[in-house]
Amino acid sequence: MSRTKQARVRALAKINLDLRVLERGPDGYHDLRTVFQTISLADTLDVAYTPARTTSITAAADIDIPGENLAARAAALALDAMRRSGRVEIRIRKKIPLGAGLGGGSSDAAAVLLTLPVLAGRPIETERLLDLARCLGSDVSFFLIGGTAIGIGRGSEVYPLEDRQASWGVLITPELSVSTKEAYRVLDESRALTPEAGQTMINGFQSCVWEGRAGVSSRLAGNDFEAVVFARHPRLKALKRRLERLGARPARLTGSGSALFGLFTGHESAERAAAALGKEQAFPIRLITRAQYRRLWRRQLGPGIKERTWPPHSRFA
Ligand code: C5P
């Protein structure tokens, strides 16, 4: 009898409803204030685990992923944390474009961190999962919780916000990849960072969060990357204006780009805007709340999961 356990899971993309970049800290990373939001666009991962005495990990995607595949690294870290060995096979169907600011690679990695412990029957407590996520990249922690959440520090210290009402958007994914590292470098040079000393922007950010309007309706909300990324790619700025003219409130770059999103009050207005943008690789999206994110994970990890083991718990709980 095969001892292989497998699951097919969807790894959702994120947008940054708001993104403030502060000074760079001594660790070389910038201090952030951001509002993350999961959306309906998703990669699909098939993850299989077979216990064995030695470990081998393969991760293959249907497109070329330059550099190291984060999902494979996530599997290695998870096995290590569970003190398990064996064969892990991961197949990824990519729908989330690379270098778009949609967190696709991070979400795939988080999906592996959530899935492998269930397949191996060895829960990893929340504190440890957060450690592993931080080692993998700044956005990975957010995908352990999903919904609407604040990210501070490197963006890997994440606190959930109340679920927003169901809302719709349009996503534009231009055929253009922006290097996050490079975008931070240009931002440093241009001094377009949010100044901590002034406090005005931070106060604006705080008051929006307190009022449950995080990242959306305030004049002070925005994305600090827009200035430098739009200067280099004027087409992205023109697309933001088009989204606004079509009724998006707000229209914004996500992460360091190149994807842009616009939010709409209704499903139909989002559909109409996406159709009007037809040639621009635009499509309607849904904002996925934390309650929906949790339900999705429960469903996809199957009846095999025990209430006690998912969602992951704190060892201090
Ligand atoms: O951690 P992650 O791999 O997502 O970050 C990619 C690069 O972006 C880092 O190497 C760093 O140069 C930059 N970065 C930063 N400040 C952050 C997050 C990322 O400078 N808060």
pLDDT value of residue 205 = 78
Q: 196 pLDDT band (50/70/90 cuts)?
A: low
pLDDT of residue 220: 66
pLDDT number for residue 153: 93
The number of beta carbons lying within 10 Å of the beta carbon of residue 317 is 6
Query: Is pLDDT at 199 greater than 80 in this prediction?
Result: no
Average pLDDT, stretch 67-72? 93
Per-residue pLDDT, 317: 72
Task: Kindly provide the b/e burial profile for residues 263-287, where b requires at least 16 CB atoms within 10 angstroms of the residue's own CB.
Answer: bbeeeebbebbbebbeebebbbbbb
Q: Which pLDDT score, from 0 to 100, does residue 156 have?
A: 95
Give, for ligand 1, the residue of 180, 223, 229 to mutate: max count of ligand atoms closer than 8 Å to Cβ: 180
Q: For the ranges 195-199, 233-237, 250-254, which has the lowest average pLDDT?
A: 195-199
pLDDT the model gives residue 11: 98
Q: Is the pLDDT of residue 2 over 90?
A: no
Instruction: Compute, in angstroms, the gap from residue 284 CA to the centroid of ligand 1.
Output: 29
Structural contact between residues 249 and 217, judged by C-beta atoms closer than 8 angstroms: yes
pLDDT > 90: what percent of the chain?
75
Sequence-ordered list of residues with C-beta below 8 angstroms from that of 18, at least 6 positions apart, any chain: 33, 34, 35, 205, 208, 214, 215, 216, 221, 222, 223
- Report the largest interatomic distance among the alpha carbons of the chain, rounded to a whole angstrom: 65
The answer to whether 44 and 53 are in contact (CB under 8 A) is: no
Q: Does the annotation mark 95 as catalytic?
A: no
pLDDT at res. 89: 98
Q: Which residues line ligand 1 (CB under 6 A)?
A: 29-30, 32, 137-139, 154-155, 180-181, 184
Q: Rounded distance, CA 230 to CA 251, Å?
A: 13
Q: For 85-107, what is each residue's pLDDT tens digit?
A: 999 999 999 999 999 999 999 99
**Structure confidence by residue, pLDDT tens digits, 209-218:** 888 777 776 6
Q: What is the pLDDT of residue 303?
A: 63
Kindly give the number of the ligand 1 atom that is closest to the alpha carbon of 28.
Answer: 20
For ligand 1, what atom is nearest to the CA of residue 30? 16
Q: Determine the 3-state secondary structure of 37 from DSSP.
A: strand
How many whole angstroms from 100 Cα to the centroid of ligand 1? 14
Is the pLDDT at 306 greater than 70? The verdict is no
User: Is pLDDT at 40 greater than 60 in this prediction?
Assistant: yes
Nearest CA to ligand 1 atom 8: 181
Q: Highest mean pLDDT range out of 133-137, 175-179, 275-279? A: 133-137
What single letter denotes the amino acid at residue 221? A
Query: Which band of pLDDT confidence, cut at 50, 70 and 90, is reported for residue 197?
Result: low
Closest ligand 1 atom to 31 CA = 21
Q: Give catalytic status of residue 237 as yes or no.
A: no
CA distances from 147 to 15, 112, 303 (A): 11, 18, 23
Q: How far is the CA of 107 from the centre of ligand 1 (A)?
A: 16
What does pLDDT average to over the chain? 91
> Of ligand 1's atoms, which has the minimum distance to the CA of residue 21?
21
From the candidates 94, 139, 224, 240, give the one annotated as an active-site residue: 139
Ligand 1: residue whose CA is nearest its atom 10: 181
Mean pLDDT, residues 299-308: 73
End-to-end CA distance of the chain: 37
What is the pLDDT, as a whole number, of residue 91? 98
Evaluate if residue 203 carries a pLDDT over 90.
Answer: no
**What's the confidence (pLDDT) of residue 227?**
93
Residue nearest to atom 6 of ligand 1 (CA): 181
Residue 284 pLDDT more than 60?
A: yes
**Nearest residue CA, atom 3 of ligand 1?**
137
